[in-house]
Structure 1
Amino acid sequence: MDRQRLSRLAHARHPIAAPLADESVARLLERATAHTEVGRALDLGCGEGAWLVRALAARPRWRAVGVDLDAQALTRARETATAVGVVRRIGLHHADVREFAAAEPFDLVLIVDATHAFGGLRPALAAVREQLAPGARVLIGESFWEREPSRAALEALGAARDDYADLATTTGRLVRDGWTPVDGHISSQQEWDAYEFSWTGTLAEWALDHPEDPDAAAVREAADRHRTEWLHGHRGTLGFVTYLLRRD
């Protein structure tokens, strides 16, 4: 089935499409926007706009731009922004994040669990350097190895050992590239488990509630497969870190 539709269904109860709890998101956004009362934020791979809508709701003098290839997710982002009362301060663009260029720089750029669109963490950061205003922050989320991955974990993820590094190595590479972590968050096992239960459970329940839908069997199969890959593969092996970075 359409992978974008599958993702929208899976994240219906967890619009922050990453293993972070609401309180973790709130703290990161507070730190990421505290340096200026008036600012501009850009979310590359914004999906349904959950990060930006929350940022704008907390910062009435900020404006934001979101970019994503999923047109229906952008429609939902606009609907949510309207309901929250921030739609006049957000611009949503149906475009490839690698090709998006704005006329003005941004005070905050977000790329949370979307670095794959650029080919990885470091290429993503290299791509946004020219988008940053002086003193800007980058809020970027990426996976890392909590422990040496087993063959079962790699097979479950469809990944290679070199796709990620451990946390120290990952952070060291960023520092050598000229970035300074000024804050961050390592997702707990509880956050990971809540995210995975929501992802798989929402899909399974949708399939149970829509047995006549042509995609019902595929959705249920995706939920069952992902649950097995998580519980018998990468649980406890794959970590997730969200950095708040500044350029040196």
Structure 2
Amino acid sequence: MDREQLSLIAHREHPIKSPLGDDSVQRLLERSLSPGTRRVLDLGCGTGEWLLRALTTRADVLADGVDISPGALAQAARAAEARGVRDRLRLHQSKAEDFAGAEPFDVVLSVGAAHAFGGLLPTLAAARRHLAPGGRVLVSDGFWQHPPSNEAVEMLGEFDDLATTVDKVVADGWTPIDGHVSTRQELDDYEWSTCGTLATWALEHPDDPDSATVLTTANQRRAEWLHTYRDTFGFLSLVLRRAD
């Protein structure tokens, strides 16, 4: 079973695919979708949950989602059809950095996908290429709440602390107009959900040739979280506008 299939299983009960609760997602969307918002883009949309919630919240919005995963995009299309918003959602199978929209977007989202661009600032550079004047960006990335172990850095990558992360975003020409630091509850809920959903799938499919591998993956991920990065990793979401 490849990483895409594992991810689709792991996030069945947590479709946002980031350590954010429903209330936090709704508030961040409300701050991102200004009254004049018409076009929304998600770079690295996965199964499209952010766009689906935006479309069901605002009947006047059109949305585009970009992702490399055909399975995730197919799931997004089915979900959009079920929610009655398929006619306002365009999906593009492409690397996010290669996508070229015909018009600028009022809001650009990229939540939990900074690794695909090589970090937070490259993600913002990509978002800026698609952003209309006066538009807003909703972006997220990890940070270190406490000094990490070498093992944690090797596992998750290089991050700064919270203050340094925000300082770098501001120095890059962006102005935060809202933000959210995921709570301990949100972080724990996400990890319990994804590991537990993988384990449940494996236990309910004992005859599947991938069952043992999926269960091993669930146990390994849970152990890595509890022993390596639970007490150090944080998750930051920012709503931004350009200072110029």
Q: What is the 5 A alignment of 1:57-68?
A: 57-68=56-67
Q: Do the aligned partners of residues 8 and 82 (structure 1) sit closer, same or farther apart at CA in structure 2, a change above 3 Å counting?
A: same
Secondary structure at the counterpart of residue 98 of structure 2: coil
- Asked if 2 retains the 8 angstrom alpha-carbon contact of 1:152 and 1:232, the reply is no
1:154, distance to aligned residue in structure 2 (A): 3.2
- Asked if 2 retains the 8 angstrom alpha-carbon contact of 1:144 and 1:240, the reply is yes
* 1:225 counterpart = 2:220: yes
Q: Name the structure 2 match of 1:239.
A: 234
Q: Name the structure 2 match of 1:10.
A: 10
Q: Name the structure 2 match of 1:23.
A: 23
Q: Deviations over 1:178-223 (max 9, x none)?
A: 0000001100000000000000000000000011112111111110
Task: State, as a whole percentage, how many aligned pairs show the same letter.
Answer: 54
2:92 aligned partner, one-letter code: H
> Normalized against structure 1, the TM-score is what?
0.96
Aligned length: 243
Q: Deviations over 1:113-137 (max 9, x none)?
A: 1011111110111122121111100
Q: Name the structure 2 match of 1:81.
A: 80
Q: What is the 5 A alignment of 1:1-248?
A: 1-36=1-36, 38-155=37-154, 157-159=155-157, 163-248=158-243
Secondary structure at the counterpart of residue 91 of structure 1: strand
- Using the alignment, how far apart are the partners of 2:86 and 2:156 within structure 1? 38
1:158, distance to aligned residue in structure 2 (A): 4.8
Secondary structure at the counterpart of residue 240 of structure 1: strand
1:226 aligned partner, one-letter code: R
- Asked if 2 retains the 8 angstrom alpha-carbon contact of 1:200 and 1:227, the reply is yes
Secondary structure at the counterpart of residue 47 of structure 1: coil
1:151, distance to aligned residue in structure 2 (A): 3.2
Q: Deviations over 1:99-119 (max 9, x none)?
A: 001010000000001011111
Secondary structure at the counterpart of residue 101 of structure 1: coil
Secondary structure at the counterpart of residue 98 of structure 1: helix
Gaps of 5+ in 1: none
Gaps of 5+ in 2: none
- Using the alignment, how far apart are the partners of 1:166 and 1:158 within structure 2? 14
- Using the alignment, how far apart are the partners of 1:143 and 1:158 within structure 2? 9
1:150, distance to aligned residue in structure 2 (A): 1.9
Secondary structure at the counterpart of residue 164 of structure 2: helix
2:239 aligned partner, one-letter code: L
Q: Deviations over 1:53-102 (max 9, x none)?
A: 00010110000000111111111101111111111000001111110010
- Using the alignment, how far apart are the partners of 2:70 and 2:23 within structure 1? 28
1:24 aligned partner, one-letter code: S
Q: Which moved more, 1:180-189 or 1:125-134?
A: 125-134
> Normalized against structure 2, the TM-score is what?
0.97
Secondary structure at the counterpart of residue 4 of structure 2: helix
1:97 aligned partner, one-letter code: A
1:140, distance to aligned residue in structure 2 (A): 0.3
- Asked if 2 retains the 8 angstrom alpha-carbon contact of 1:136 and 1:246, the reply is yes
1:124 aligned partner, one-letter code: T
